[in-house]
Amino acid sequence: MRILALGDVIGPAAVEYLTANLNAWRKQYSIDFTAVNAENASFLAGISPDAAQRLLAAGADVLTGGNHTMQTRTVFPMLDGDSRILRPINFPAEVPGYGSSVLTSAAGVRVLVINAMGNAFIEPVLDNPFPYIERALAREKGNYDVAMLDFHAEATGEKLAVAHAFDGRLSAMWGTHTHVPTADAQVLPRGTGYVTDLGATAPTGGILGVRADIICERFRRKIPVPYKPAEGPVRAEGAVFDIDEKTGACRSVTRVSL
| 81 vs 102: CA distance, rounded Å | 14
Collapsed DSSP state (helix, strand, coil) of residue 181? coil
- Is 68 part of the annotated catalytic residue set? yes
Taking a C-beta distance cutoff of 8 angstroms, is the pair 172, 149 a contact? yes
**Tell me, what amino acid is at 89?**
I
Contact assessment for residue 211 and residue 231, using Cβ atoms and an 8 Å cutoff: yes
User: Do residues 198 and 189 make contact, with C-beta atoms less than 8 angstroms apart?
Assistant: no
Q: For residue 183, give the 3-state DSSP assignment.
A: coil
Contacts of 60 (CB under 8 A, 6+ apart): 18, 22, 34, 35, 36, 38, 84
- Cα 131 from Cα 133, distance rounded (Å): 5
CB atoms inside a 10 Å sphere around CB 122 = 17
Strand 200-203, strand 234-243: pairing: antiparallel
Q: Please name the residues in contact with 213: beta carbons below 8 A apart, sequence gap of 6 or more.
A: none
DSSP letter at 75 equals G
3-state SS class at 83? coil
Catalytic residues: 68
